[in-house]
Amino acid sequence: RTPDEQLAEIDRLVAENHQIHDLDCFNLNPATNVMNPRAEALLAARLGSRPSLGYPGEKYETGLEAIEQLEVIAAELVADVFGATHAEIRVPSGAIANLYAFLATCEPGDTIVAPPPSIGGHVTHHAGGSAGMYRLRTVPAPVDPTRYTVDVDALRETAHEVRPRLITLGASLNLTPHPVAAVREIADEVGARVLFDAAHLCGMIAGGAWENPLALGAHLMTFSTYKSLGGPAGGVVVTNEPDLAERLDAIAYPGLTANFDAGKTAALAVTMVDWQVHGQGYAASMVGTARRLAEELAALGAPVFETVEGHTRSHQFALRAHPWGGGQAASRLLRRANLLACGIGLPDEPVDGDVNGLRIGTPELVRIGLTEEDMPRLASLVVRGLAGEPVAEEVTAWRRSLTGVHHVRQPEAALV
Ligand code: PLP
């Protein structure tokens, strides 16, 4: 192909993605979001190709006076929003943020205890992910299926038996509060540290809709910046522990980064200002909308996964996906209905060759303008889509009526 043909192909694919995400479909996947247009614009503001090697005030290259101030401001804003003394923002993703945490707390050959996939435990904490690649041995935490989190009593026994260096909490689906304070006590008994993986919960925490794990005793918290947080793709590690802060700083530089994207840094700073101003309203709307959608789906007979505290305390919930042959199979049915979602593990009957749950969340729904009042209509479309009914055109007509809206309707929570 000629260069012109290749350029045309790239343009076509970008337009196709815009069509899928911004015109045709509703995104019910909590692992994604839309950004504040002002933050998004900064990704193309001719910052990203500039060098940034070294520390603010001591950069190796010259001419970086403005860029180093952006770095400082972004890190201070993140630390402020998350009630931390140290925010490490030179992290490419949530997965690499977990690697930073492992490097800061463990040596190769150490044992860690982490939530298994049946309660949303992420691969980064296990053999196939960054934990395994750093040669950590992961022992799965015992499960409390009624709360979709770890079982504290059984975890105490496991910890005393395997003497981990690190115990992790936090998952790709979070339905009830995790027992952070109790796990911190266990960690203290065996000389371990506690890592809270807030890849998904960070927006809830930033908006005060979820108790801050650092305040409850977690030594470290990691997260993705583009899921419920609605920022640019990246990762962050926050802590209040001076020794860990120092270690993380060295892991970031000169350890794992040299130059990094100052455009992303500026976009993250704008995202944090949004959270300071509008975060409470946005987080509360995400929770309210998720709970209402789960209720409406259950009322229509959909098998919403139940905990002892109900469908969810967060912005996410799950359907038992057995009727559709699994979560990924269900997500393919929804795709035909122009509804985007994906599979998740549940502590329930397994499904052969698929995960047994379908995860649904509201970060993007709220951001494009849907409210609790819209949930009966959306629930009906989800149920009909899962039944194989041809609802794609109806979904798209509704989606297009919201095109261009990148903020929530309530003025007090307008993330623009
Ligand atoms: N941790 C959890 C619990 C996740 O769900 C994810 C999601 O992908 C990650 C870590 C990795 O984050 P990222 O996609 O930003 O690398």
Rounded to 10 degrees, what is the CA torsion of 185, 315, 32, 358?
Answer: 90
The answer to whether the CB of 304 falls within 8 A of the CB of 294 is yes
CA of 227 to the centre of ligand 1 (A): 9
| Residue where the block lists tokens 């890592």 | 195
Residues with CB under 6 A from ligand 1: 31, 93-95, 98, 122, 124, 170-172, 197, 199-200, 224, 235
CA of 30 to the centre of ligand 1 (A): 11
Give 130-151 pLDDT, tens digit per residue: 999 999 999 999 999 999 999 9
Q: What is the pLDDT of residue 184?
A: 98
Pick the residue whose CA is nearest to atom 5 on ligand 1. Answer: 172
**Region 329-352 average pLDDT:** 98
Q: What is the pLDDT of residue 403?
A: 63
ipTM of the predicted assembly exceeds 0.85? yes
Give 62-82 pLDDT, tens digit per residue: 999 999 999 999 999 999 999
Pick the residue whose CA is nearest to atom 15 on ligand 1. Answer: 94
Model confidence at 410, pLDDT cuts 50, 70, 90, reads: very low
**Region 47-67 average pLDDT:** 93
What's the whole-model pTM score?
Answer: 0.96
CA of 235 to the centre of ligand 1 (A): 9
The answer to whether the CB of 280 falls within 8 A of the CB of 274 is no
Q: What is the pLDDT of residue 404?
A: 54
Q: What is the pLDDT of residue 153?
A: 98
Q: At what angle do helices 152-162 and 180-190 cross, to 10 degrees?
A: 20
Q: What is the pLDDT of residue 411?
A: 34
**Region 89-117 average pLDDT:** 98
Model confidence at 37, pLDDT cuts 50, 70, 90, reads: confident
Q: What is the pLDDT of residue 360?
A: 98
Residues 6+ apart with CB under 8 A from 346: 118, 148, 305, 318, 320, 355, 356, 357
Model confidence at 402, pLDDT cuts 50, 70, 90, reads: confident
Q: Which atom of ligand 1 is nearest to the CA of 120?
A: 3
Give 299-326 pLDDT, tens digit per residue: 999 999 999 999 999 999 999 999 999 9
Q: Is the pLDDT confidence value at 264 over 50?
A: yes
DSSP at 141: P
Give 2-19 pLDDT, tens digit per residue: 999 999 999 999 999 989
Share of the chain above pLDDT 90, in %: 93
The answer to whether the CB of 234 falls within 8 A of the CB of 224 is yes
Q: What is the pLDDT of residue 415?
A: 42
The preferred substitution site among 29, 32, 33, 93 for testing ligand 1, maximizing ligand atoms within 8 Å of CB, is 93
